[in-house]
Structure 1
Amino acid sequence: MKKNRDKPSIAATRTKPGAPAVNQPPVTWRTHYALFVLASIYVFNYIDRQLMAILIEPVKLEFGISDTGIGLLSGVTFAVFYTVFGFPLGRLSDRIGRKPVIAFSCIAWSLMTMLCGMAGSFLTLVLARIGVAVGEAGGTAPSVAMVSDLYPANRRSTALSVLMLGSSLGAIVGLGLGGWIAQHHGWRYAFLLIGAPGIFLGLLLLLTVRAPKRAVPLGNVAAQQDGWLKTLVELFRMPSFLCLVLTGGAAAIAGYAIGTWSPSFLIRSHGLNLQEAGFLVGVVGGTGATVGTLMCGMLTDRMARRDVGWQIGVPLLGTLISIPFALAYFLWPQGTAFHIGSIAVPQAFLFYSAFAFFGVWWATPCLSAITHLFPSTRLAQATAIFVMSMTLLGVGVGPLFVGMLSDFFVPTLGTESLRYALASSVSMLVLASVFLTLALPRYRQHMKSPAPRSAPNQAVTA
């Protein structure tokens, strides 16, 4: 009887965090240059996404909309279209390569950001934000997959932490510079001036970065033709992956809610103006998040060499530490700690600085864990699902949930309604800690179990 030749399983090509990758190309200056360009693109991905946070108050004033309306604009509308296009663009990058998908997506979302500044009504602003969402759907997952193709497993968390600096650096530029532009030139110029550089970066990636070659088992080339439903079923059969997806969704609800509404919270509850709130949340908070992102990536790589469980243990530790700092930030009463120039820094903001440092520890290690679980032919799709969970729940539910809760609290709490609405969102970080606790033993068991023997490899252009 003829033996059936099964395609290699997902586990066949996984790489352990502490082990060198098979057929991994050498890390050269070209590798680091590619990472630099990808990280720069991700900075503007996050700037264009977060810019709306610092422009909430002037946009509300011009179009006369409620906090719930802002939550719909910056949350649900963006998240739904990002999610709808995220998985198809992830599949596309697994098939035709990461570079063209990232480059053309970057150009598209940058053009749509500029169009936001030309919106003549709330409806046209919503349509332009939908365009930003569709473009950004092709950014994060293919970028994570491309970094995974560029760097070996035992250096991947550190490399991904450099990529993920985009979120914190994006906050610095988007909130800090965006607030300054809006204060002095109006909110429309903020969209126009900050959207333009992404067009250049997309062309820079397309024309100057050499795409890596991915070592892919021969059987898995055929697996690229699997239907999307079959692929989804296979991905979610892995318990550790499901726990990571749930972690990303829960943590992102709190993260995006706090990131979106923090400038308005400082304006309403602590008496800051638009520029001052943008500076504190963007520059000071963003700097703390930048250092925290780099540190958690390096710490994860170092600890995972001793025990693969630390790939999940580090984000669990950071998330647990961040919870009391977040609550103290929202519930601390008014009072000035010190001055930065003419800015009276609230005492509560000291707790935000600590939260910004530890509150980012969950994202990079979780993304890196996913790169260890799946082969290259499924990696962008798996990452897309994780990012889609973050976006649909985080961007979609987070700002809207806080906006609706703030409106609900107004009759009893007045101008302090946003303070308690934001404090309520911290419960999602507790839930994320539960999911990470469930993921830890499952991930450790999965990574330590013997992997099936992989088939011969062939190079596939990324």
Structure 2
Amino acid sequence: MSIPSRPTWRTHYALGVLAAIYVFNYIDRLLMAILIEPVKAEFGISDTGIGLLSGVTFAVFYTLFGFPLGRLSDRIGRKTVIGLSCIAWSVMTMFCGLAASFSMLVVARIGVAIGEAGGTAPSMAMVSDLYPPERRSTALSVLMLGSSLGAIFGLGLGGWIAQHYGWRFAFLIIGAPGIFLGLLLMLTVRAPKPAQLVKAADLIQDHWAVTVRQLFQTPSFLWLVLTGGSAAIAGYAIGTWSPSFLIRSHGLSLQDAGLLAGVAGGVGATLGTLTCGMLCDRMVRRDKGWQIGVPLLGTLISIPFALAYFLMPTGTAFYVGSTPVPTAFLFYSVFSFFGTWWATPCLGAISHLFPATRLAQATAIFVMSMTLLGVGVGPLLIGMLSDGFAHSLGNEGLRYALASCVSLLVLASVFLAMALPRYRHYLTQPTLAATPSAKAVTA
């Protein structure tokens, strides 16, 4: 049965539950960013050690399990994989608050990574199953609000809890709701089945190596994956280290840094995510190439504002209550709006390239590149650069380490420019059949 052109209330309800789960996916993932300073103080580790904990360790295990769990969701359906994964990463987030040593904290974060590997790609594929192509970028932008809302609650609320009750209590409180959301999804949402399509031949599952090769042979997919990896290095590096940058270079408290980076930055990212999704759906009606053109435009605009944020001298623009707002942070607000424009349209582009029986696997590869390079390399790279610059610059070493990572956004723009003509040409071929990813059956 094909998905109706006008989604029902059940469709929107499913999207709402998935979006709530994705919020906690990012809350649990980003919580470590606001807790860097107290965790460092308790366990006596360096910035490089923090980069290994929040970056490489998380990314390696996320990547190892991302493709197999995406492949599993293409076979048995998304709902069960997402629900069980949500429960798993939430439990492991709570275990982080019980860690008696740095080694135990590392093990708990590995558990979070494995759980989250089964949530992201299947959720994005499920949204693509639920909505027709002409409404898909807007629907995906609603799901992708999880990253910005996760920053608001993960950094803002996490910083407040840590300031008043300690970093361990922050893990325990913020990890708990995901258990309820996982159960809610499995018990109340009617999920599409990607395996039942018009052509029986589509049900044949190739060996995973054959599938991966065929995915990368699809025009523009490689460039989209490279875009995700390079942009994510910059994005995760900035997201992870921005609170510490505000503390070290602008003298903010842990609570104030969390509120600014989480709430103010998260609001900009929320508005940016929604704007780019709706703009993309509107512009694509005129020219399919805007599916790539919109993220290219947003990424180019974000670059000068990111540089201004990191290189602007210390100074306070105004106060919000008792919280000082550095002048530099005004540029971060604009950057957070445009800096999110690359993700949602790229995911929408992937949903137009592949059928439902391969969509979660293709999405998993894109997300894996974001995670392995973004989560794995980004925080570690900045930690190493910060430690290196600290010999001559002290606390200001982090400022210039972060400024240097903006060059990765330039590289992402180049990759998007390479993908654009290939994507447009592929989708406008007269012989290209309508993507079967919009066809599914409801359980």
Alignment of 1:397 onto 2:377: yes
How many percent identity over aligned positions?
78
Q: Deviations over 1:8-54 (max 9, x none)?
A: xxxxxxxxxxxxxx922341100000000000000000000000000
* 8 Å CA contact 1:113, 1:128 repeated in 2: yes
* 8 Å CA contact 1:43, 1:165 repeated in 2: yes
* Alignment equivalent of 1:72, drawn from 28, 52, 65: 52
Alignment of 1:344 onto 2:308: no
Q: Deviations over 1:358-378 (max 9, x none)?
A: 000000000000000000000
Question: How far is 1:222 from its partner?
Answer: 3.3
Question: How far is 1:216 from its partner?
Answer: 1.9
* Alignment equivalent of 1:439, drawn from 419, 426, 443: 419
Q: Deviations over 1:204-234 (max 9, x none)?
A: 00000011244624244433x2110000000
Residue of structure 1 equivalent to 2:93: 113
Determine the C-alpha separation between the residues in 1 that align with 2:131 and 2:398: 43
Determine the C-alpha separation between the residues in 1 that align with 2:206 and 2:119: 23
Cα gap change, 1:242 to 1:220, in 2 (>3 Å): farther
Could you tell me which amino acid in structure 2 is paired with residue 390 of structure 1? Answer: M
Could you tell me which amino acid in structure 2 is paired with residue 210 of structure 1? Answer: R
Alignment of 1:216 onto 2:202: no
Q: Deviations over 1:267-289 (max 9, x none)?
A: 00000000000000000000000
* 8 Å CA contact 1:145, 1:383 repeated in 2: yes
* Alignment equivalent of 2:237, drawn from 253, 257, 281: 257
How many pairs does the alignment contain? 440
Question: How far is 1:461 from its partner?
Answer: 5.4
Question: How far is 1:460 from its partner?
Answer: 4.8
- TM-score, structure 2 length as denominator? 0.97
Question: How far is 1:412 from its partner?
Answer: 1.1
Residue of structure 1 equivalent to 2:177: 197
Q: Secondary structure at the match of 2:340?
A: coil
Residue of structure 1 equivalent to 2:260: 280
Cα gap change, 1:220 to 1:385, in 2 (>3 Å): farther
Determine the C-alpha separation between the residues in 1 that align with 2:14 and 2:110: 29
* Alignment equivalent of 1:359, drawn from 329, 332, 339: 339
* Alignment equivalent of 1:155, drawn from 119, 135, 152: 135
Residue of structure 1 equivalent to 2:222: 242
Determine the C-alpha separation between the residues in 2 that align with 1:32 and 1:53: 32
Q: Secondary structure at the match of 1:216?
A: coil
* 8 Å CA contact 1:217, 1:454 repeated in 2: no
Determine the C-alpha separation between the residues in 2 that align with 1:245 and 1:455: 20
Could you tell me which amino acid in structure 2 is paired with residue 324 of structure 1? Answer: P
* 8 Å CA contact 1:153, 1:372 repeated in 2: yes
Question: How far is 1:450 from its partner?
Answer: 2.1
Cα gap change, 1:459 to 1:331, in 2 (>3 Å): closer
Cα gap change, 1:295 to 1:454, in 2 (>3 Å): closer
Q: Secondary structure at the match of 1:307?
A: coil
Question: How far is 1:411 from its partner?
Answer: 1.1
Residue of structure 2 equivalent to 1:327: 307
Residue of structure 1 equivalent to 2:401: 421
Alignment of 1:92 onto 2:53: no
* 8 Å CA contact 1:217, 1:455 repeated in 2: no
Alignment of 1:145 onto 2:125: yes
Q: Deviations over 1:295-348 (max 9, x none)?
A: 000000000000000000000000000000000000000000000000111000
* 8 Å CA contact 1:82, 1:136 repeated in 2: yes
> What aligned pairs does 1:360-375 form with structure 2 within 5 A after superposition?
360-375=340-355
* Alignment equivalent of 1:310, drawn from 279, 290, 300: 290
Could you tell me which amino acid in structure 1 is paired with residue 225 of structure 2? Answer: V
Determine the C-alpha separation between the residues in 1 that align with 2:439 and 2:10: 22
- TM-score, structure 1 length as denominator? 0.93
* 8 Å CA contact 2:352, 2:435 repeated in 1: no
Determine the C-alpha separation between the residues in 2 that align with 1:248 and 1:455: 22
Residue of structure 2 equivalent to 1:130: 110
Alignment of 1:178 onto 2:158: yes
Could you tell me which amino acid in structure 2 is paired with residue 111 of structure 1? Answer: V
* Alignment equivalent of 1:58, drawn from 38, 51, 60: 38
Determine the C-alpha separation between the residues in 2 that align with 1:425 and 1:197: 34
Could you tell me which amino acid in structure 2 is paired with residue 222 of structure 1? Answer: L
Moved over 3 A (4+): 219-222, 451-462
Q: CA RMSD in A?
A: 1.5
* 8 Å CA contact 2:22, 2:147 repeated in 1: yes
Determine the C-alpha separation between the residues in 2 that align with 1:246 and 1:268: 32
Q: Which blocks of at least 5 consecutive residues in structure 2 are unaligned? A: none
Question: How far is 1:415 from its partner?
Answer: 1.3
Alignment of 1:449 onto 2:429: yes
